[in-house]
Chains A and B, each alone.
Chain A
């Protein structure tokens, strides 16, 4: 009892590499062999969908999902294979297809519904329902150009869902509209399903597929790589996406990512109650905004709020931490992006109203070790010199530690070039000295997964 049946369907787009659309171009290209690029959109897809079933199609962009829908809808003809579809079919591939801004909402309802394949009589019968569902009763005689995008979406949804068909094809159109309207739409889909309509749904969101679909499949490069029960397919897809994302993230990190961690603390810094404390992290590119995790007695996360010139700013109005030592990590989805935590010590002051946040020398220690060790070719590893700041760059921590020799560079000058231990000693002393006398203004730490860029700046 399958209502849609596809058997070994192939779709190949053959695109002329150089599209010669004018006579002159054709003339110039005479004699040249036409180069045709073949894009295989579907490679032998077979599926059968039962009456009253809700079927989900998952896949990345360019995996052939829309082509599949278009073939089921009969908009495209396959190069090979057979399709059998029973009953009236309505494809909703874009919302508001053919909407004209210069026409009134009412005229657009009739236009869009006609394009979807309704007769005038059917539209007349459903018109009231459509208008009611869209909640736009008062503005149906207003030209569409005066509508907001949200209103247009609502209108097109209402039309699309009041089409009386046996099979409805939906292509990633559910993710629009405000939350309340979305719920309404989802309920409508449920209702359609209960009325025994067959729904084929393309979506990126496994949530939607899980919620409605009985069965689903995953398309990849035109092939069905997994199909079965919707729940299982979704889990599989999520797994795939996660591993893909990780892979991409790692590649990206290797290529371009830098994390700079600025903490604008004077030492010791007293954070008054209610005072804004700002930290920023500088990235190259990232997929998701990272958080700051204060790890210690209390675990507190500060979520990044905004992004300015590639700089991520964490803002919090209060830091509800009890007394103790905390590790500060930059994390993303429970993965630490920093290898070494930034340490702070929280001490309640005697006045008890104020929280003292300050960095003891111990907080600097991990950086100290890292900062001063260089590989063999210091010139290459020095990234910037400006305004008396020296930023030291390492390929990775291991190589830095393994190098026998090291040098200390300050203000574009090599201060010392010696055995590693000696340099370390020297610097440790220097830092301690500095700490003893002056405050650190900025501590700049550059670090990332594969490669740690540790540096510090000092302003005397």
Chain B
């Protein structure tokens, strides 16, 4: 019971500071592209260029059917990019906004929420790339109703990781370097450039211990379910449930750490 009340209190607090959160998120988005000629277009161009480069190199190596590979690739890459970009950006945001935090009563959470929202927004824009390509080649299936849940789970994981890392970052700035290496490695530990079938079924159980691999698989399932090439290994609703629990766990651990470290971290920045 007290847990529930506590959660209600958190939600109330977030609601009461929704104006500042949205304002900061808006500012963040606007500043991201301010002063550039192409503006918001960059958020499409950048992933498109990366997709182009990978599409030239990887099908050659993997000798796979191009189109088939390509669709799986973009369905995995874009959600993964969100996780990577979101986490790395949130990690440094307390330091980035230190001047405001030092001199106003605004609580540090607001900046984390704002950053999470602004990265979510970028993700939604990038997701339009997936929509365009997929709808071009694959009949949409009813699985699309699972998409909001998947996005929500990604958001929660992102937020949880963000809470944890941003609280630790001011005192251990190596984190940003370690993160970039970790994400670079992680990209090949989840089914993005190859499909899940490439993993021998003997090891697949171990492979799927990685929740991010499951998350990416869920995205691929949602978009490509009706594709004849798609084989259903895991049931999507069940996966979503597991992932939701996982994301909540991440969020709670992250938030607890954040609460604990906040004071000290704010003094360091």
A residues near B (Cβ < 8 Å) are: 13, 19, 21-24, 26, 70, 73-75, 77, 89-91, 93-94, 97-98, 100, 102-103, 107, 110-111, 114-120
**Interface residues in B124-180 (C-beta closer than 8 Å to A):** 171-174
Shortest beta-carbon distance from A321 to chain B in Å:
55
Question: Which residue of A21, A90, A118 has the most chain B CB atoms within 10 A of its CB atom?
Answer: A21
CA distance A110 to B23 in the complex (A): 8
A73 and B105 in contact, given A22-B174, A23-B174, A98-B100 (Cβ under 8 angstroms): yes
A97 and B173 in contact, given A102-B31, A107-B27, A120-B19 (Cβ under 8 angstroms): no
User: Which single member of A22, A70, A89, A100 contacts B27 (CB below 8 Å)?
Assistant: A100
- B20 contacts chain A at the CB level, 8 A cutoff: yes
* Inter-subunit contact A117/B105 (CB<8 Å): yes
Residues of chain B contacted by A97 (CB below 8 angstroms): 99-100, 103-104
User: Which single member of A22, A89, A102, A111 contacts B23 (CB below 8 Å)?
Assistant: A111
* Inter-subunit contact B103/A91 (CB<8 Å): yes
* Inter-subunit contact B19/A119 (CB<8 Å): yes
A77 and B27 in contact, given A22-B173, A94-B103, A114-B19 (Cβ under 8 angstroms): no
Question: Which residue of A24, A26, A73, A102 has the most chain B CB atoms within 10 A of its CB atom?
Answer: A102
* Inter-subunit contact B174/A103 (CB<8 Å): no
* Inter-subunit contact B31/A75 (CB<8 Å): no
User: Which single member of B22, B30, B263 contacts A102 (CB below 8 Å)?
Assistant: B30
**Interface residues in B1-39 (C-beta closer than 8 Å to A):** 19-20, 22-24, 26-27, 30-31, 34-35
Shortest beta-carbon distance from B102 to chain A in Å:
7
A115 and B174 in contact, given A75-B105, A107-B30, A120-B19 (Cβ under 8 angstroms): no
User: Which single member of B103, B172, B173, B263 contacts A77 (CB below 8 Å)?
Assistant: B263
B residues near A (Cβ < 8 Å) are: 19-20, 22-24, 26-27, 30-31, 34-35, 97, 99-100, 102-106, 171-174, 263, 267-268
**CB-based nearest B residue for A22:** B174
Residues of chain B contacted by A70 (CB below 8 angstroms): 103
Shortest beta-carbon distance from B1 to chain A in Å:
29
CA distance A111 to B35 in the complex (A): 19
* Inter-subunit contact B105/A100 (CB<8 Å): no
* Inter-subunit contact A115/B30 (CB<8 Å): no
A-B contact pairs, 22 of them (CB 8 A): A13-B267, A19-B268, A21-B171, A22-B172, A23-B172, A23-B174, A74-B105, A75-B102, A75-B103, A75-B104, A77-B263, A91-B104, A91-B105, A97-B99, A98-B100, A102-B30, A102-B35, A111-B23, A114-B24, A117-B20, A118-B19, A120-B23
Residues of chain A contacted by B22 (CB below 8 angstroms): 120
Residues of chain A contacted by B97 (CB below 8 angstroms): 98
Residues of chain A contacted by B26 (CB below 8 angstroms): 107
CA distance A21 to B172 in the complex (A): 5
CA distance A439 to B48 in the complex (A): 86
Shortest beta-carbon distance from A157 to chain B in Å:
16
* Inter-subunit contact A102/B104 (CB<8 Å): no
**CB-based nearest B residue for A143:** B34
* Inter-subunit contact B100/A102 (CB<8 Å): no
Tell me the dominant secondary structure on chain B's binding face: helix
Residues of chain A contacted by B263 (CB below 8 angstroms): 77
* Inter-subunit contact A117/B172 (CB<8 Å): no
CA distance A205 to B105 in the complex (A): 26
* Inter-subunit contact A114/B23 (CB<8 Å): yes
CA distance A115 to B102 in the complex (A): 12
**CB-based nearest A residue for B26:** A107
Question: Which residue of B19, B31, B173, B268 has the most chain A CB atoms within 10 A of its CB atom?
Answer: B19
Residues of chain B contacted by A26 (CB below 8 angstroms): 172
Residues of chain B contacted by A107 (CB below 8 angstroms): 26-27, 30
Shortest beta-carbon distance from A261 to chain B in Å:
48
CA distance A73 to B107 in the complex (A): 12
User: Which single member of B20, B30, B99, B172 contacts A114 (CB below 8 Å)?
Assistant: B20
**CB-based nearest B residue for A121:** B19
Q: What are the 8 A-B residue pairs with the smallest beta carbon separation, nearest first?
A: A102-B34, A93-B103, A114-B20, A114-B23, A120-B19, A23-B174, A98-B100, A119-B19
Residues of chain A contacted by B27 (CB below 8 angstroms): 100, 103, 107, 111
CA distance A117 to B19 in the complex (A): 9
* Inter-subunit contact B34/A115 (CB<8 Å): no
CA distance A117 to B173 in the complex (A): 30
CA distance A272 to B26 in the complex (A): 70
* Inter-subunit contact A21/B173 (CB<8 Å): yes
CA distance A111 to B97 in the complex (A): 13
Shortest beta-carbon distance from B136 to chain A in Å:
36
* Inter-subunit contact B100/A115 (CB<8 Å): yes
Shortest beta-carbon distance from A42 to chain B in Å:
15
Residues of chain A contacted by B31 (CB below 8 angstroms): 100, 102-103
CA distance A117 to B104 in the complex (A): 9
Residues of chain B contacted by A100 (CB below 8 angstroms): 27, 31
Question: Which residue of B23, B35, B97, B268 has the most chain A CB atoms within 10 A of its CB atom?
Answer: B23
CA distance A397 to B174 in the complex (A): 64
Residues of chain A contacted by B20 (CB below 8 angstroms): 114-115, 117
**CB-based nearest A residue for B22:** A120
Residues of chain A contacted by B30 (CB below 8 angstroms): 102-103, 107
* Inter-subunit contact B34/A103 (CB<8 Å): yes
* Inter-subunit contact A117/B106 (CB<8 Å): yes
Residues of chain B contacted by A13 (CB below 8 angstroms): 267
Residues of chain B contacted by A74 (CB below 8 angstroms): 105
Question: Which residue of A73, A91, A115 has the most chain B CB atoms within 10 A of its CB atom?
Answer: A115
Residues of chain A contacted by B105 (CB below 8 angstroms): 73-75, 89-91, 117
Residues of chain A contacted by B267 (CB below 8 angstroms): 13
Shortest beta-carbon distance from A5 to chain B in Å:
18
Shortest beta-carbon distance from A130 to chain B in Å:
15
CA distance A119 to B23 in the complex (A): 10
Residues of chain A contacted by B102 (CB below 8 angstroms): 75
Residues of chain B contacted by A73 (CB below 8 angstroms): 105
CA distance A95 to B102 in the complex (A): 13
Question: Which residue of B100, B102, B105, B268 has the most chain A CB atoms within 10 A of its CB atom?
Answer: B105
**CB-based nearest A residue for B175:** A23
Shortest beta-carbon distance from B16 to chain A in Å:
8
Residues of chain B contacted by A98 (CB below 8 angstroms): 97, 99-100, 104
CA distance A93 to B104 in the complex (A): 8
